[in-house]
Amino acid sequence: MIPQTTKILRAGLSLLAVLGTCVLANAGPTNSVPDQAAGHKSQLVGPAEAAKLIDSKKVVILDVRTPAEFAEGHITGATNLDFHAPDFRAKLEKLDKNQPYLVHCAAGGRSGQACKLMNRLEFKTVYDLKGGMQAWEKAGQPVEK
C-alpha cells in the first residue's frame, strides 16, 4: 500500500510542478497591469483623431516599442520608451503626470498595457492609438525614419 501511495504522491507533485511552470510561462511581461485603474482611464483613439491631437500640439507622443522598431520608423516628435525595458516603470514615473500623452506600439498590445500602468500611476490624460503603428501607416499618416 505504501509504494502505491508514494507513486500517487509523486505523480501529483509532478503534475503540480508542470502546472506551476505553465502558469509562470503565461504570466505575461513584468510590466503587465491588472485592468483596474485607480480612477483613471485611457481613451482609445484612431489614427485620424490621433493626428488631430498631434497637430494641435496637445499631446506628448510616447512610442513604447523597442529601439530597433522605433529606428525603422516612428511618428514625428515621438519619444521612445521601451515597454520591455526593466526600467520602463521607473522612467514612466519620472514623466509629468499632468501632461496628456498619446501612447502607441506596433499593433496595440504593449500600448494598452502601458496605458493601464499610466492609469494606475494617476496620469491625468492618456490616449491609446488603436492599432498602433500598423493602423497609423495603413491610414497613410506620415512616418519619420
How do residues 48-105 score in pLDDT, each as one tens digit? 999 999 999 989 999 999 999 999 999 999 999 999 999 999 999 999 999 999 999 9
Residue 37 lies in a domain: no
127 and 85 assigned to the same domain: yes
Q: What is the DSSP letter of 14?
A: H
pTM: 0.74
Q: Could you tell me the three cell numbers for 121?
A: 500611476
Considering the domain architecture, whether residues 106 and 78 belong to the same structural domain is answered as yes
Set 51, 62, 92, 105: catalytic member: 105
> What's residue 41's pLDDT?
87
Range of the domain at 23: 1-30
Q: Is 22 tagged catalytic?
A: no
As for how many domains the chain has, the answer is 2
Q: Is the pLDDT of residue 144 over 50?
A: yes
Answer yes or no: do 73 and 105 share one domain: yes
**Which residue has better confidence, 119 or 6?**
119
In this structure, what CATH number is given to the domain that contains residue 103? Answer: 3.40.250.10
Residue 59, domain member (yes or no):
yes
Give every CB contact of residue 108 below 8 A, 6+ residues apart in sequence.
128, 129, 130, 131, 132, 135
Distance, in Å, from the CA atom of 129 to the CA atom of 131, rounded to the nearest integer, reads 6
pLDDT at 10 over 80: no
d(CA 44, CA 22): 32
Do 3 and 68 lie in a common domain? Answer: no
